[in-house]
C-alpha cells in the first residue's frame, strides 16, 4: 500500500504521551519492574513493545561482551550465558530516566504497526543489523506482536517451506512485503487498533499516515481541443445615419457646416473668415467641423465616424477647401484587415511558436515535475530531450523520438499522467 508517514507528527505525539504516562506512574515510584511493565498501560500491545525494545537493546549490549580472548562459541559458554540472561530477564529494573525514551519509541512503534505495517516491519529487520535473520529470532520477535501478527507468521511459514533456517535480511523484507500484498484483507483497521491509545491522548490517524497526493494534477485545459487562432477585430466606431426618405423633386445637395459661436463683431468676423480663409486659431477646429458635416441627397448616404485628417504644410485653408474636405469623408472599411490578411497573421504566429525553444513553452513547475518523474532527476537527459524536440519537424516525429529514446529507459508506463502532459506541451509547439 502506498502511503506517506509523517515522522515529525509521530515523534511529537509519542513525546507528549510518554511524558504524561511517566508523570502519572512515577509520581510515587523511582523505577519500574518487569511485571509492572506488562501491566503499565491498558493497551497490551504497547506493553509488549516496551519489553521488546528493552530486550532488543539488551541483545545489542550482550554482543559487546564478546572478546577476541575468549571462545564464546563453546557450548558450555553458550549454555551458561543463556542461563545468565534468562535469570537476568526476570530482574528488570528501569528508572524513569531510562524508561521514558523506551516508552517514547514504543508509542511510535505501535502507531507504525497499526497504520503503516510495511514501515514498521522493515524498520525492525534493519534494526537487527545482522547479515542473516534466523527463523528462531523471528519467532521470538513474533511473541511481542499482536496487531498484524499474520505478517510474521506468513514469513516464518514461507521460509520454513523453502527448507531454510535463516535467510538474508533483504530476503526477509521481500517476504514481509509479499505477505502484506497477498493478505490485504487481514490488515487490522488502523482506527480500531489505535482507538485505545487515542482515548488517552486524542489524535487522528491521518495526522500520522496518509495517502500521498499525486505529483501532478492533470489540468482540465489539456483535454480540450486546441483552439484556432482568431485575431482580435480592429476597434472602429461606426456611426450610421438612418437612410432618409427619398426627396420627391430633384434639388441641389445642401451642405451645412456648423460654425463656432463667436461674438458678432467685425473683429470676430475677421477672425473666422479673413479674405475667405481660415485663420491659424481655427485650424485645430477643422477636424471637429468636418466630422459634424452632414449631407442630404435624394439617394441617401451612410456616414461613418472618421479620424481627423492631419493638416500639415499650411497654416491657412480657404473656405472652399474646407467645404471640399467635408464632401468626401474617408471610408474606414477599406482599412479593415481582409480575411486573407488574418490568415497570414495566424500563420505568422504559428511559425513564431514553432521557432521558439520548447523549454520556453513549458512552465517552470512542470519542468521540475518532468525532470523528477520522467527523467529520473537527470537534468542532462531533459536537456537532450528538449534539444531533440526542437529539431523535430513535426509532432509525430517528436513523440516517436521521446517514446523510442526515453520512455522505456525511464519507465514512463508508471507515469502515464505526467507523460500525457508532456505530450500535450509538445503538441502545442507544433
> Do 320 and 379 lie in a common domain?
no
Count other C-beta atoms under 10 Å from residue 50's C-beta: 25
The mean pLDDT of the chain is 75
> Do 75 and 59 lie in a common domain?
yes
Between these two residues, 83 and 180, which has the higher pLDDT value? 180
Angstrom distances, CA of residue 349 to CA of 20, 227, 232: 69, 14, 13
Between these two residues, 25 and 316, which has the higher pLDDT value? 25
Specify the DSSP class assigned to residue 147. Answer: T
Q: Average pLDDT of 84-112?
A: 88
> Do 27 and 125 lie in a common domain?
yes
For residue 233, tell me if it sits in a domain: no
Between these two residues, 316 and 21, which has the higher pLDDT value? 21
Q: What is the pLDDT of residue 243?
A: 54
Q: What is the pLDDT of residue 154?
A: 93
Q: Kindly tell me if the per-residue pLDDT of 420 is higher than 60.
A: yes
Q: What is the pLDDT of residue 228?
A: 60
Between these two residues, 104 and 82, which has the higher pLDDT value? 104
Q: Kindly tell me if the per-residue pLDDT of 234 is higher than 90.
A: no
Between these two residues, 271 and 226, which has the higher pLDDT value? 226
Residues in CB range of 108: below 8 A, 6 or more apart: 10, 11, 14
Rg (the chain; Cα; Å): 45
Q: Cell 471610408 belongs to which residue?
A: 331
Exposure of 156 in the CB half-sphere (CA atoms within 13 A): 15
C-alpha cell at 244: 432618409
| Angle (nearest 5°) at CA 241 between 237 and 242 | 135
Query: Comparing C-alpha atoms, which of 227, 238, 228 is closest to residue 336?
Result: 238
Q: Distance between CA 126 and CA 145 in Å, rounded? A: 17
> Do 311 and 368 lie in a common domain?
no
The last residue of one of the domains, among 154, 182, 210, is 210
Q: What is the pLDDT of residue 19?
A: 94
Q: What is the pLDDT of residue 262?
A: 45
Q: Distance between CA 56 and CA 53 in Å, rounded? A: 5
For residue 226, tell me if it sits in a domain: no
Indicate the range of 70-79, 231-240, 374-383, 394-403 predicted with least confidence. Answer: 231-240
What's the whole-model pTM score?
A: 0.49
Give percent of the chain above pLDDT 70. Answer: 63
Highest mean pLDDT among 113-122, 236-245, 319-328, 346-355: 113-122
Contact 128, 169 (CB under 8 A): yes
For residue 47, tell me if it sits in a domain: yes
Q: What is the pLDDT of residue 144?
A: 92
Specify the DSSP class assigned to residue 187. Answer: S
The alpha carbon torsion through 191, 192, 193, 198 (nearest 10 deg) reads 60
> Do 261 and 363 lie in a common domain?
no
Q: What is the pLDDT of residue 103?
A: 95
Say how many domains are in the chain: 3
Q: Give one DSSP letter per residue of 18-56, joined into a string.
A: HHHHHHHHTTS-SEEEHHHHHTSSS-HHHHHHHHHHHHH
Q: What is the pLDDT of residue 267?
A: 45
Q: What is the pLDDT of residue 302?
A: 44
Indicate the range of 111-125, 131-145, 308-322, 356-370 predicted with least confidence. Answer: 308-322
> Do 93 and 201 lie in a common domain?
yes
Q: What is the pLDDT of residue 250?
A: 46
Q: Kindly tell me if the per-residue pLDDT of 285 is higher than 90.
A: no
3-state secondary structure of 358: helix
Q: What is the pLDDT of residue 355?
A: 66
Q: Kindly tell me if the per-residue pLDDT of 253 is higher than 60.
A: no
> Do 316 and 386 lie in a common domain?
no
C-alpha cell at 403: 517514446
Burial class (CB in 10 A: 0-12, 13-18, 19+), 406: buried
Query: Comparing C-alpha atoms, which of 31, 35, 146, 52 is closest to residue 102?
Result: 52
Q: What is the pLDDT of residue 279?
A: 46
The last residue of one of the domains, among 316, 334, 352, is 334
For residue 215, tell me if it sits in a domain: no
Q: What is the pLDDT of residue 15?
A: 95
The last residue of one of the domains, among 192, 210, 228, is 210
3-state secondary structure of 93: strand
- The confidence band for 120, taking pLDDT boundaries of 50, 70 and 90, is very high
Q: What is the pLDDT of residue 86?
A: 72
Residues in CB range of 376: below 8 A, 6 or more apart: 410
For residue 398, tell me if it sits in a domain: yes
Between these two residues, 356 and 424, which has the higher pLDDT value? 424
Q: Average pLDDT of 245-253?
A: 49
Q: Distance between CA 168 and CA 93 in Å, rounded? A: 34
| Residue-wise burial string across 160-171, b where 16 or more C-beta atoms lie within 10 A, e elsewhere | eeeeeebbebeb
Q: What is the pLDDT of residue 211?
A: 63
> Do 51 and 153 lie in a common domain?
yes
Q: Distance between CA 209 and CA 3 in Å, rounded? A: 7
Q: Average pLDDT of 77-105?
A: 84
3-state secondary structure of 256: strand
> Do 354 and 311 lie in a common domain?
no
According to DSSP, the residues that pair with 5 across neighbouring strands are 209
For residue 230, tell me if it sits in a domain: no
> Do 169 and 61 lie in a common domain?
yes
pLDDT tens string 155-165:
999 999 989 98
- The confidence band for 341, taking pLDDT boundaries of 50, 70 and 90, is low
> Do 297 and 361 lie in a common domain?
no
Q: Average pLDDT of 85-109?
A: 88
Q: Which domain holds residue 416?
A: 340-429
First to last CA, the chain: 40
Q: Kindly tell me if the per-residue pLDDT of 370 is higher than 50.
A: yes
Q: Kindly tell me if the per-residue pLDDT of 258 is higher than 80.
A: no
Query: Comparing C-alpha atoms, which of 364, 378, 426 is closest to residue 401?
Result: 426
Angstrom distances, CA of residue 267 to CA of 260, 271, 285: 15, 6, 19
Query: Comparing C-alpha atoms, which of 429, 428, 427, 383 is closest to residue 406?
Result: 383
C-alpha cell at 89: 530477564
Q: What is the pLDDT of residue 155?
A: 93
Between these two residues, 421 and 301, which has the higher pLDDT value? 421
> Do 328 and 349 lie in a common domain?
no
Q: Kindly tell me if the per-residue pLDDT of 205 is higher than 70.
A: yes
Between these two residues, 181 and 334, which has the higher pLDDT value? 181
Amino acid at each position: 500500500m502506498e502511503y506517506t508517514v509523517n515522522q515529525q507528527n509521530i515523534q511529537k505525539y509519542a513525546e507528549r504521551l510518554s511524558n504524561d504516562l511517566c508523570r502519572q506512574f512515577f509520581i510515587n515510584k523511582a523505577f519500574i519492574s518487569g511485571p509492572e511493565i506488562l501491566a503499565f498501560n491498558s493497551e497490551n500491545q504497547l506493553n509488549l513493545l516496551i519489553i521488546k525494545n528493552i530486550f532488543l537493546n539488551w541483545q545489542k549490549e550482550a554482543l559487546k561482551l564478546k572478546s577476541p580472548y575468549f571462545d564464546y562459541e563453546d557450548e558450555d559458554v553458550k549454555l551458561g550465558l543463556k542461563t545468565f540472561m534468562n535469570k537476568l530477564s526476570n530482574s528488570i529494573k528501569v528508572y524513569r530516566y531510562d524508561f521514558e525514551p523506551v516508552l517514547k519509541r514504543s508509542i511510535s512503534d505501535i502507531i507504525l504497526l497499526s497504520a503503516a505495517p510495511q514501515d514498521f516491519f522493515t524498520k525492525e529487520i534493519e534494526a537487527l543489523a545482522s547479515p542473516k535473520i534466523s527463523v528462531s529470532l523471528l519467532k521470538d520477535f513474533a511473541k511481542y506482536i499482536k496487531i498484524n501478527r499474520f505478517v510474521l507468521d506468513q514469513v516464518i511459514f514461507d521460509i520454513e517451506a523453502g527448507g531454510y533456517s535463516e535467510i538474508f535480511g533483504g530476503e526477509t523484507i521481500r517476504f514481509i512485503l509479499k505477505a502484506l500484498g497477498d493478505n490485504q484483507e487481514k490488515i487490522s483497521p488502523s482506527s480500531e487498533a489505535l482507538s485505545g491509545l487515542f482515548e488517552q491522548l486524542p489524535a487522528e490517524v491521518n495526522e500520522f499516515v496518509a495517502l500521498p497526493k499525486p505529483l501532478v494534477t492533470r489540468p482540465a485545459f489539456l483535454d480540450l481541443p486546441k483552439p484556432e487562432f482568431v485575431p482580435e477585430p480592429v476597434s472602429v466606431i461606426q456611426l450610421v445615419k438612418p437612410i432618409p426618405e427619398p426627396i420627391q423633386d430633384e434639388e441641389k445637395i445642401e451642405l451645412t457646416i456648423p460654425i463656432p459661436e463667436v461674438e458678432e463683431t467685425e473683429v470676430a468676423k475677421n477672425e473666422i473668415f479673413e479674405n475667405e480663409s481660415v485663420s491659424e486659431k481655427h485650424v485645430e477646429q477643422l477636424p471637429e467641423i468636418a466630422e459634424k458635416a452632414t449631407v442630404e441627397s435624394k439617394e441617401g448616404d451612410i456616414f461613418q465616424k472618421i479620424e481627423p485628417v492631419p493638416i500639415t504644410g499650411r497654416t491657412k485653408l480657404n473656405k472652399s477647401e474646407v467645404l471640399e474636405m467635408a464632401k468626401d469623408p474617408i471610408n474606414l472599411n477599406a482599412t479593415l484587415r481582409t480575411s486573407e490578411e488574418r490568415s497570414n497573421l495566424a500563420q505568422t504566429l504559428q511559425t513564431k511558436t514553432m521557432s521558439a525553444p520548447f523549454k520556453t513553452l513549458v512552465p517552470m513547475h512542470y519542468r521540475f515535475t518532468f525532470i523528477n518523474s520522467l527523467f529520473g532527476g537527470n537534468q542532462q537527459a531533459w536537456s537532450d530531450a528538449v534539444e531533440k524536440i526542437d529539431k523535430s519537424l513535426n509532432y509525430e516525429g517528436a513523440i516517436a523520438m521521446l517514446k523510442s529514446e526515453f520512455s522505456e529507459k525511464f519507465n514512463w508506463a508508471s507515469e502515464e499522467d505526467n507523460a500525457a502532459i508532456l505530450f500535450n506541451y509538445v503538441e502545442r509547439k507544433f
